[in-house]
Amino acid sequence: MTEIWTVPGALDGERVDRALALLTGLSRSAVDALVEGGRVTVGRTVVASRSRRVHAGERVRVAGALPPAGPPAPTADAGVDVPVVWSDEEVIVVDKPAGLVVHPGAAHVAGTLVNGLLARFPDLAGLAGREEQADRPGIVHRLDKGTSGLLVVARTARARDSLVAQLSRRSVGREYVALVHGSVQSDAGLIDAPVGRSDTEPTRMRVQAGGRQARTRYRVEERFELPPPATLLRCQLETGRTHQVRVHLASIGHPVVGDDRYGPRQMGRWQPLPAGRPFLHAAVLSFDHPRTGERLSFSSRIPLDLRNVLEWYRARPE
């Protein structure tokens, strides 16, 4: 069995790996495997390099059955509001509002940050580097749906590789503002506790032996002693595990206000925020520019819904 495509004018001059990925819906890594296996020909010539350019009207053939396409590529949606605070040809910095999912998944197939970004930056469509990332082009780190604040998105393969490497060596600066239940006694501290997935609830994380190393530093910004007592913290991530801040703070007895997943029942029913919206905001983000090496730093003001909670506390009589 041989599959055949004719290169359209819109793909004239493209690399054969990107062109074939767009024509077939396969990930770039799946296309690379076809090229390396000698299964791709252009005209009568077997393609030896995935960087080979194709031209309009050429016939591209793949010998044998195609592999499964994997997750469908997300579509552009101009209706998704994406607050972009900075962008250039390499990276995009977004101030994500609470309630917006970062990328499509089983529970959210559309209406995500990625769908909105594709409408504004169509070049992101070519960045699905591995099959399992076909639905998250350019995404190198995430924020939970209920968490607001800053995240960086790669626009090029170079930027993606650079940002992933910076995250791996922990040189990306990430600070969160969190309001937690109870009075945190120490002015500053370090939570160094491994985080892994629950055996009974795969979408729930917990501190557990054998989990991945996770470190969160915190310092107290403000204390509210009148009931219900709470503490405003500034948290610095040294690692970036799923739900890390929420899990770590809950593990020391101070779950994030509004966190209906990790906040224990005994904290009471006081809920000043919409369901699923914890008082957690990614306020500071810094990283080295992938091309220039310049250190870039961005800050985001606490959103109105969170400021209102703080004002409620500050307005209470002594």
User: Which residues are known to be catalytic?
Assistant: 144
Q: What are phi and psi of 185, to 5 degrees?
A: -75, -45
Alpha-carbon gap, residue 98 to 150, rounded angstroms: 11
Q: How many other C-beta atoms are found inside a 10 Å radius of the C-beta of residue 4?
A: 9
Task: List, as one string, the DSSP characters of 102-170.
Answer: SS--SS-SSSSHHHHHHHH-GGGGGG--SGGGTTSTTB-S---TT-EEEEEEESSHHHHHHHHHHHHTT
Between CA 5 and CA 109 the distance in angstroms is 28
- Ramachandran bin of 293, using left for φ above 0, alpha for ψ from -120 to 50, beta for the remaining angles: left
The contacts of residue 316 (CB under 8 Å, 6+ apart) are 224, 226
- Specify whether the CB–CB gap between 113 and 130 falls below 8 A: no
Q: Residue 42 and residue 40: Cα distance in Å, rounded?
A: 7
d(CA 220, CA 183): 10
Q: Are 84 and 91 in contact (CB under 8 A)?
A: no
